[in-house]
Chain A
């Protein structure tokens, strides 16, 4: 598998993502600078990492979404290649129009870093085949603007097409409003595009891949991607 991590000025979880890919998938990702205009040949996974691209000034992800490299990312997605946007990466995907909706200020108006529980809604996407549908996983969040919003029509489409793949939930998997860490519409933590080759999610699976750091629930995501790519090859 060949992964490329896009580094924008202000990205800051690119090393975390690289380590997860290395540890779980055994793959040494390419770091691609935002000012480049093409991806390394053979890239089959693009990762937009967490951070504060361009300071997250204006709106989170807004400036990054218009960076030179994004045309190549768009083309990669259009050709069916996998794109994973984590946290700031999710915000960038929404701003770039690769995913619907927008991410607004957390309902409690504070940046929040803590472990949350996610319900994996389906296991038949390239990103979630490492989990079982309905499985509850513990993953940290660390964001100030992860409050997913979309208009009614968009939400209906997301629900109808089964494109909501992660939701914030209680430890037992129930959709307790108290577990919705940022007030997201329908407790949305992660969604895919229509073709299911683009995933955006707010939580950080890349920070839960090592037993030494207390939890390995994030491994499934990376393992699933590797499996999918191996099967497709």
Chain B
């Protein structure tokens, strides 16, 4: 399909704007600061509508079908969320408008923080972080500030080897060193390895629970104790909270700080890669370190308090991805306590059901009860020359979005599958069917799998070429590569 630039026709117009309508001033900007050309495309409104309508048809979302991308909680995004986020008082409010005219927004943020506290058991939340990884960074900055305040120079962050890539990346970003903790044969943190690694140099354990294998760290209380016993902090990567809503509070696992992914657990749409929300919750003793401003209630007024004693400072201008918060708030208020628990229970039921079904054809490296997701391996199929990549691509032909693949790294030929609670049994059965057919094809007709996809808008794309000879912006001459 042509690029929008390639559809441009010199002189074409897509909008009309009002006349300036004021006496014209001479430009007092020095000549050499004035733009000469601006090669944006020139199109009419109909061109733009058709172009992006066509592009949308080459994209697949939860609204298109099953999207079991593990670790990403691709659940259904209720349409009401979108409608409410576009209410004019939310959508068109300026972050610097007076507090008196922002009571709705502040109240919403204040209450949302409280709900998140109740759900997680934490004592306070900041809503500033824009995504999970941003939350991790924020949390670790607070840990660093806290330790520094205590006069401790702890350098190490312990991270299970199954952790998401953002965990180590955030750690080094914060100037920490990372120490990898091995996963045992049951798919959980190896207690001995942890005990061996934890010491007075341990700043933080970053743990994901349920972990990225979809398995609940049943020793979590002990794990926390070990870390605490060495004076370290326990940070929970709460991206997988969908499985735990109303079941267990991270606080009760011994967690000191954590982030949540609003765009996963609380059903705000993923937007093709964002925006998200990564609020960070902490226990009382870390509250003073939260980024300023924090929202407080004084009598009947909600206010922004910029005066936070040991605050690490801002991590975001203004107050965070407010529009995303509106959606999460809507979701929580529509579900309530029972609704949230239903979410966790059904997410876990769906995952276990699908896991058991797929186990008939695929290797299940950790064959235990899972939570919101599970990881199977394409190793059996690999013997027939069919890789997990091939299986994923073949799934496209069956009209499904593939699982997360080759992650977590500790499972060879990994396929990480998270069905979420918003999928029905029929859909799971249909997906299992497709996976079964592919397993059969891998035996009887491996070429059809290896050359997949066949019916997508493009055939398999060459990632190596893209990286070897990177073309990352339009140049007229590249248009006919």
Q: Do A and B bind each other?
A: no
